[in-house]
Amino acid sequence: MAVARDGRRRPPEVASVGDNCVDVSVDRPGEELAGGNALNVAVELARAGRATGYFGAVGTDAYGAVILDAARAAGVDIAEVRHVPGRTGVTVVARDAEGERQFLSQDYGVSADYRLDEDTVHHIAGHPWAHFARQADLADWAPMLRGEGVRLSCDLGVESEPGTLELVAPHLDVAFFSTSAGGGRRAEELLEEALAAGAVLAVVTCGSHGSLAGAASSRWKTPAVRIENVVDTLGAGDAFIAAFISAVLDGGDIQRALGLGALAGATACTRRGLANPLEEVTA
């Protein structure tokens, strides 16, 4: 159970399950920052005041400590993180003058082999909401979690095995996508595919073109929040997802959730290293 900054125990709200990595910068030699989709979402939710647990695996190397220190500093519950002999994931990142990131290499280390088991699923089921990213066996456990009343979301705008959408969408309350990882498909096309596959709600981020969401008979749109002097776009989509989930948990409608997500994504672009302590990482 998460502990608030005042030391009081808080009932769990969100489990964020899946990948983590250390982002190694080529434009700033020596800069090694905690990251990864699921970890970033956990950190942003905790910063928003949500009692959040992170479920994933780190290696027994020094990079594992980088991940855990960042999560702990944000107030994320890391009690269920597995320490696995081997390497923590590493992503080598380049950024251009406008802050746009490019992945030069991605090695997920021990995180790539992280799989759920009954005990872990039992702990996840103690959270009203569970968010997943790069979790290969989600389809195996999603029916059980939904049966326990857990609301499920998944970032499908990342690499996944063929057929993943069809397997997991029928169990998802929210399916998240990004046009930047959509293989050239339009936002409406991604949205329609997710709804046809069975997702209750689909949300697509479109970078500077804003974002949209869709349910069976409804559509919502919001523009991007314009900012000057973008520092780093890495993690902006994860910040959007965290803010969207938090808004929905607060009872906010979809339009408000999109707006708060857009603001969070834009704010993330003003600093380097989304998951790292705010006071330590600046432009």
Rounded mean pLDDT, 12-29: 94
Domain assignment of residue 56, given as a range: 14-268
- Is position 2 within any domain? no
Q: Is residue 103 part of a domain?
A: yes
Mean pLDDT of the chain: 91
Helix runs in the chain, H state only: 37-47, 62-74, 118-124, 138-147, 164-168, 187-197, 236-249, 254-268
275 within 8 A of 228, measured Cβ to Cβ: no
Give pLDDT tens digits for 128-187. 999 999 999 999 999 999 999 999 999 998 766 678 899 999 999 999 999 876 567 789
Among candidates 121, 114, 197, which has minimal Cα distance to 156?
197
Task: Give the distance from CA 58 to its chain's centroid.
Answer: 17
Lowest mean pLDDT among 49-63, 174-188, 219-233: 174-188
pLDDT reported for residue 52? 98
Kindly indicate the confidence band of residue 283, based on its pLDDT and cuts at 50, 70 and 90.
very low
pLDDT over 80 at 214, yes or no: yes
277 belongs to a structural domain? no
Question: Does residue 271 or residue 123 have the better pLDDT?
Answer: 123
Mean pLDDT of 237-246: 97
Q: How far apart are CA 79 and CA 55, in angstroms?
A: 8
- Do 133 and 158 form a contact (C-beta atoms < 8 A)? yes
State the average pLDDT over residues 9-37.
91
d(CA 163, CA 234): 27
Number of H helices, E strands in the chain: 8, 14
Asked if residue 9 belongs to a domain, the reply is no
pLDDT in tens, 57-96: 999 999 999 999 999 999 999 999 999 999 999 999 887 7
- Domain with 254 in it: what CATH number? 3.40.1190.20
How many independent structural domains does the chain possess?
A: 1
Q: What are phi and psi of 155, to 5 degrees?
A: -85, 105
In a domain, 283, yes or no: no
CA 145/CA 31 separation, integer angstroms: 38
Q: Is residue 275 part of a domain?
A: no
- The DSSP symbol for 77 reads B
Is the pLDDT at 1 greater than 70? The verdict is no
Looking at residue 233, its pLDDT comes to 86
Per-residue pLDDT, 230: 84
d(CA 157, CA 205): 9
The predicted pLDDT at position 72 comes to 96
- Is 119 a domain residue? yes
Are the CB atoms for 14 and 129 separated by under 8 Å? yes
Residue 4 in this model has a pLDDT that exceeds 70: no
Task: Confirm whether 274 is domain-assigned.
Answer: no
Question: Residue 224 gets which letter from DSSP?
Answer: P
What's the burial of 234, exposed, middle or buried (CB within 10 Å: 0-12/13-18/19+)? Answer: buried
